[in-house]
Structure formats: structure tokens, C-alpha cells
Chains A and B, each alone.
Chain A
Amino acid sequence: MVSTASETKLSVKDLSIRYGDHVALEGASFDVRENEIFGIIGPANSGKTSFIRAINRMDEMTPGMKVHGSIEFNGKPVDSWRNLYALRSRIGVVFPLPVGLPMSIYENVAFAAKLRGVRGKGALDEVVERCLRRSALWDEVKDRLDSLGSLLSGGQQQRLTIARALSQEPELLLLDEFSIAVDPVTTMRIEEVLKELKQEMTIVLVTNLTQQAQRLADRTAFFLEGQVVEVGETKAMFKGQTKDPRTTHYIEGRFG
């Protein structure tokens, strides 16, 4: 896919998400650009995870979740995709807690490729090795690809999850607080990988660690209690050039 750096990947317009009477997100409007890392920061209950779910239409699978407004992916509203599976296969998701599917390490990473129709040991081997290398897990597991993914340590499983998401060759990678279950050293290694990956894909990074957003994100959105307080260039935001004083307060950790 040929694209310029400023092209819009996701366009969010007046997005609201509700669970019954509970409003998770209200009136969110912003764009995510092609090949950027878009950070989303904010305290618990601010609608970050709900937003991630709305992008790949998990509302379809979540009882009670209602999405209003629109999210355009490549200029096409996600709720107009008739084939949800085609949409989801273009979007990689990494959840806060690692989910090693109950199959071998190899199968975990080869799964998406098989769904795509990749056949043959050689082709699958290639996908598995490439994705595991990129997620900085290859060296640790290359001798035991047939053992269970769920037997790996938490940090390794999270890297497995990232490898699995990469095996989809996604255009858009959604990371929902991926570093919760990962040690700081591994987190740093994954962050390095993400910086490279943004050459190839757009990344939305939901994080609790404002420092992580500062290190990685080109632009950052601050979510608070279901509102998007502001969206801006990360550098400027962390220098204190914010439109809303609450953003500065949150970033500086004197939130009350």
C-alpha cells in the first residue's frame, strides 16, 4: 500500500460508546494519520479500551455495547464493512493481559497466516520466524516452537501475542496497555520494535504510562472520563503546550 505520511488512516467523528446507561465515550472526534504512532493516555474508566474495541467492531461480539458516530478506516466507515472478518484481519490487536491461545507457539503465530490462506510448511515457517524475530522472542523460543504458548512466562506470552498480531500483516496495530504484564527491559525492547514498525503500519498505543507515550507517540490524545480532552503533538504536549490545563496536570502526575 502506497501512502504519504500525512494521509488519514482512522477518522473518528462524533463517536459515542455506551454500555446500557453507562457512557464510556462521548463525542470523540479526531484523526489518526498513516504511519504514525498515536498515543492515547488517560486514567482508568476514560474510554480508551472501549475505543479500541469499537475500531475493530468488537461491539458486535460484546453484549450491551452500542457505538454511535463513525470511525472511518481507510476512508470507509467500519460499520459499513460487510465482511467484519476482512476488517479485523487488517487490524492487529494486543490486549493488556497476554492471551496465549491454547496451541503451540508455532501454531499461535501461524494461525492468522493460515486463516489468510497461506499454505505450505516453508511459507508458514517463514512467517513464524519473521514475526517472532520482530517481537524479540525468536531467540528464546526457537528451540521449542512446538511447546504450548500458554506455558511461556507473562512477558514472553505478551511478545507472542505481539508476534501473532504482526503475523496478520496488519495495516493498523492497536496496542492496549501492552506493557502491563511485561518487565521494563522487555518493554524497552518492544518499544524499539514499535519504532521500526511504524514505517509499515499505523499504531494506536493506549498506555497508562505517560512516559511511554512521550517516548513513542508522534501525537497523543488525552481521554478523561469518556471525553477526549485534547489531541496534540506529543512533544508540544509534554513541554506544557496544552490547550487544557487538565492535560498538563495529568502528564505531570498531579491529578486530583
Chain B
Amino acid sequence: MTNETEDPVASAALPLSGGDRAANGAPGDQGGALFTATALDQKNARAERGYHSLFLLMSIVLILPVVAILGLLILRGGPAFSWEFFTEAPRAQFTEGGIFPALVGTLWLVVVALLASVPLGVAAAIYLSEYAKDNALTRLINLAIINLAGVPSIVHALFGLGAFVLFFDFGTSILAASLTLAIMTLPVVIVSTRETLQAVPQSFRMACWSLGATRWQTIRKVVLPNSVSGILTGVILEVSRTVGETAPVMFTGAVLFTPFLPQGVLDETMAMSLHLYMIATVIPDVPPEVPYGVALSLILMVLVLNSASIGFRVYLRGKKKW
């Protein structure tokens, strides 16, 4: 590799010439009016304002649906909220009571899924970013990740049913559902972690290696401590997706109603997403504000789970060291 920074002394010794300005298409006003904006300067400034507005507009367009959805849910689902709504099980054919078992069930599903997918995904990302050479195996793995990300969730659901519920004989259980969710979200964790690891400057690795550190020592002491916050971003994305998925849990672990809270990973459970789907489409005579209330709770749950990891991330970013 050539060293682009070579010979800075020679280049630094050159006096800074005003040649750049002349090259901007206004050779005439070099001597006299030094600070007059040329036609080109003005054109650039106009374009700059234009692009600034364009990007601002796009961001606003992006925020609008979020605001609309949240507004609608708060307006229509808010009245459903009560102490009972969050602390009791549904009663009287889902027309009364609350969503407590579904809330707890979804928490179980998310936590178990994270326990499975984060270690696996981070380890795979470390391999791909830090160890893998560009060869057939690596390309195969990358291809697999891309394909995994493209598989529709209903296909994951059927796979989970076949593999975890039936073949491994976990039955309809949190374990089977969470593993299905874990496999489904694995590409998100792997890709975001890999990107984060690769954002750690290569010079840190070089410096570490030249001290005689192994790759693993380099990863543990330098690469990982500086990418934790980015890895958490991937985890946040995963949580959001896991909480909302309906199809994978419907076949593998979630049931419409159970009077019991799950006691372990081999129990079946209620889940928020399935609960919402059912009361919104299948169950008759549910008061209209209840589905909106469940949807709002689902979003609030994502927010609470995420803000925990966002808080942690902000704390870590404060400690980021370059």
C-alpha cells in the first residue's frame, strides 16, 4: 500500500496560493474585490439552500405517518387504559378484563429470543468482520445471511413449527417460538454488528497487532469496547421486530388464551401480537377501544424496552474514546 501521507514537509512548505479561487471560473476578480461572491459562489449557495430544504422536507414526510399512527392510537385506544387493563387477564370472551398474561408472555418471548440470537449473532459478526478471509466460505455465509433476511415471517413460522415444535419436540412453547423469532431476527443482529465492528478504525487493530496481541485480545480490548453502543442499536431493532411479529409465534408458542402465566420456557403463553390480531379480527363483541388499547400498549412496550437499551447506549457512547 502506498502511503499517502508521505512527504508532508514538502507539501506543507508550499505557500498556500490563491489559485483555487481563480479556478472557480472567475479569473477576473482575483486582484481587486477579494471577497465578492462570484456567480458560481451564488449558484452553489442557492443549490445548498435547495438541498438543505429537500432533506428537511423528506425527514418531515417521514415523521408524519409516525405522528398520525401514534395520534390515532392514543385518541382511540387511550380510553381503554386502566389499572385493570394492565393487571388482569381477559374475561367474558375477551370483552372485559385486561392484557396482563399477553404482556408477560411477550416479555418472555423477547427475552428468550434475545438470549438466543444476540450471542449467536454477535459471534457470527465477529467472525465475519475480524477473522473471515474473502473466500468461498465467507461469501456463502454472507449469501445465507442475505437470504435469511429475505425469508417471509410466515415461512419462518412454518420452519419453526417443523423444526422446534415437532422435530426437537419442544411442543408449542416459549422456547420454540423464541428460537423461531431468534432465527428470523438473526440477520439484523449480524449485519448491524458487523457494520459497527468495521467502523472501528483499522489503525487501532494494526497498533494492537503490532504489540503482539492476538486477534482475540484485540477484539476484546479494543474492538468490542468501542462497538457496544452500535451492537445495541441492532438489538433495539431486533426487539422492535420481535415484539410485533405475529405469524412465527402463532404456530410455535402463542395461544389465544391461557389462564396461567408461563412458569418456564417450555410453557405455552399468550402474546400481545397474537392477542391483538385475534380480538381485532376473530373475536366478536370486543369493545372498539380495546384493540386500539392493545396496539398502543404494544407500541409503548417497544418504547420502554428500547429506551432501556437506548439509555444504556447513550451511557456507553459518553464513554466512547475516539
Contact surface of A with B, Cβ cutoff 8 Å = 19, 24, 43-45, 48-50, 56, 58, 61-63, 65, 85-93, 95-97, 99, 101-103, 111-112, 115-116, 148, 150, 161, 164-165, 168, 177, 180, 208-209
Contacts and interface: CB of A to CB of B under 8 A. Distances in A.
A11 B279 CA distance: 79
Contact of B3 (A90, A96, A99, A103): A96
Interface residues of B, number: 31
28 contacts: A19-B1, A24-B1, A45-B6, A49-B1, A50-B1, A58-B209, A61-B205, A61-B209, A62-B1, A85-B213, A89-B211, A93-B210, A95-B203, A96-B5, A101-B207, A102-B204, A102-B225, A112-B211, A115-B211, A115-B217, A161-B207, A164-B207, A164-B211, A168-B212, A177-B5, A177-B6, A208-B7, A208-B9
Contacts of B5: 96-97, 177, 180
Nearest to A43: B7
A66 to B, nearest CB: 12
A112 B9 CA distance: 32
B203 A99 contact: yes
Grouping DSSP codes into helix (H, G, I), strand (E, B) and loop, the A interface class, with mixed when no group exceeds half, is mixed
B20 interface: no
Given A99-B206, A101-B207, A208-B7, A89 B212 contact: yes
Interface of B: 1-3, 5-10, 133-134, 203-214, 217, 221-222, 225-226, 320-322
Given A49-B1, A148-B321, A208-B7, A61 B206 contact: yes
Nearest to B320: A102
Given A102-B226, A150-B321, A44 B7 contact: yes
A86 B209 CA distance: 11
Give the 7 A-B CB pairs with smallest separation, nearest first: A89-B212, A102-B321, A44-B6, A93-B210, A99-B207, A88-B212, A112-B211
